[in-house]
Structure 1
Amino acid sequence: MKLPRHGRYAHSAIKDRPTYEWPNGTRLALTICNNIEHFAYRAGLGSDSTGLSAVQNQRPYAWRDYGNRVGLWNMLEVLDELGVPSAHNVNAAVLEACPEIAPALRARGDEFIGHGRSNSERQDGLWEEDERRLIAESRDVLARHAGTSPKGWLGPYIAQSTVTLDLLKEEGFDYVMDWPADDQPFWMATRAGPILSVPYSVEVNDSPAMIARHHTGRQFAEFIEDQFAMMLAQSAKRPLVCSIVLHPFIIGQPSRLKPFRDALARILDQRAKLWLARPGEIARYAAELPKGVVPGSELLP
Structure 2
Amino acid sequence: MLPHERLAYSPITERAPLTLPDGKRMVVWIIVNIEEWDPTQTMPRTVLTPPAGGAPTPDIPNWAWHEYGNRVGFWRLLKMFDALSLPAVLAINGTAVETYRPITDAAIARGWEFMGHGYTQKNMQKVDDEDADIAKTTEAILNATGTRPRGWLGPGLTETWETPDRLVEAGYDYVCDWVLDDQPVELATRAGPIHNIPYTQECNDVAMMLIQHHPAREYFQRASDQFDQLYEDSADGARVMALVLHPYIVGVPHRAPYVRKILEKIAAKDDVAVWSGSQILDWYKGTGA
- The two structures have a TM-score, normalised by structure 2, of 0.94
Note the C-alpha offset of 1:126: 4.3
Q: Provide the C-alpha distance between the structure 2 equivalents of 1:235 and 1:201, rounded to a whole number of angstroms.
A: 17
Instruction: Find the partner of 1:287 among 269, 281, 285.
Output: 285
Task: Report the equivalent of 1:33.
Answer: 31
Task: Report the equivalent of 1:58.
Answer: 60
Q: Provide the C-alpha distance between the structure 2 equivalents of 1:5 and 1:229, rounded to a whole number of angstroms.
A: 30
Task: Report the equivalent of 1:124.
Answer: 125
Task: Report the equivalent of 1:21.
Answer: 19
Note the C-alpha offset of 1:193: 0.3
Q: Provide the C-alpha distance between the structure 2 equivalents of 1:73 and 1:54, rounded to a whole number of angstroms.
A: 33
Task: Report the equivalent of 1:115.
Answer: 117
1:192-203 aligned at under 5 Å gives the runs: 192-203=191-202
Aligned residues of 2:93 and 2:137 also touching (Cα < 8 A): yes
Task: Report the equivalent of 2:272.
Answer: 274
Q: For residue 116 of structure 1, what is the amino acid of its counterpart?
A: G
The runs of 4+ residues in structure 1 deviating greater than 3 Å are: 53-56
Note the C-alpha offset of 1:169: 0.1
Q: Provide the C-alpha distance between the structure 1 equivalents of 2:250 and 2:92, rounded to a whole number of angstroms.
A: 16
Aligned residues of 1:198 and 1:282 also touching (Cα < 8 A): yes
1:1-301 aligned at under 5 Å gives the runs: 6-50=4-48, 55=55, 57-119=59-121, 121-126=122-127, 130-270=129-269, 272-290=270-288, 293=289
Q: Alignment partner of 1:117: what SS?
A: coil
Q: For residue 82 of structure 1, what is the amino acid of its counterpart?
A: L
Q: Provide the C-alpha distance between the structure 1 equivalents of 2:136 and 2:99, rounded to a whole number of angstroms.
A: 15
Q: Structure 1 vs Structure 2: percent identity of aligned residues?
A: 35
CA RMSD in angstroms, aligned pairs only? 1.6
Q: Provide the C-alpha distance between the structure 2 equivalents of 1:208 and 1:54, rounded to a whole number of angstroms.
A: 22
Q: Provide the C-alpha distance between the structure 2 equivalents of 1:186 and 1:210, rounded to a whole number of angstroms.
A: 29
Q: Alignment partner of 2:180: what SS?
A: coil
Aligned residues of 2:217 and 2:255 also touching (Cα < 8 A): yes
Aligned residues of 1:20 and 1:27 also touching (Cα < 8 A): no
Aligned residues of 1:65 and 1:249 also touching (Cα < 8 A): yes
Aligned residues of 1:204 and 1:244 also touching (Cα < 8 A): yes
Instruction: Give unpaired runs (5+ residues) of structure 2.
Output: none
Q: Provide the C-alpha distance between the structure 2 equivalents of 1:174 and 1:203, rounded to a whole number of angstroms.
A: 25
Q: Deviations over 1:34-66 (max 9, x none)?
A: 100001004144112258x98450000000011
Aligned residues of 1:217 and 1:260 also touching (Cα < 8 A): no
Q: For residue 230 of structure 2, what is the amino acid of its counterpart?
A: M
Q: Provide the C-alpha distance between the structure 2 equivalents of 1:54 and 1:285, rounded to a whole number of angstroms.
A: 48
Q: Alignment partner of 2:130: what SS?
A: helix
Q: Provide the C-alpha distance between the structure 1 equivalents of 2:19 and 2:77, rounded to a whole number of angstroms.
A: 30
Structure-2 change in CA distance of 1:242 and 1:50 (3 Å): farther
Q: Alignment partner of 1:267: what SS?
A: helix
Structure-2 change in CA distance of 1:226 and 1:40 (3 Å): same
Q: Alignment partner of 2:30: what SS?
A: strand
Note the C-alpha offset of 1:160: 0.4
Aligned residues of 2:266 and 2:272 also touching (Cα < 8 A): no
Aligned residues of 1:47 and 1:54 also touching (Cα < 8 A): no
- The two structures have a TM-score, normalised by structure 1, of 0.90
Number of residue pairs the alignment of both structures matches: 283
Aligned residues of 2:24 and 2:271 also touching (Cα < 8 A): yes
Q: Alignment partner of 1:208: what SS?
A: helix
Note the C-alpha offset of 1:83: 1.1
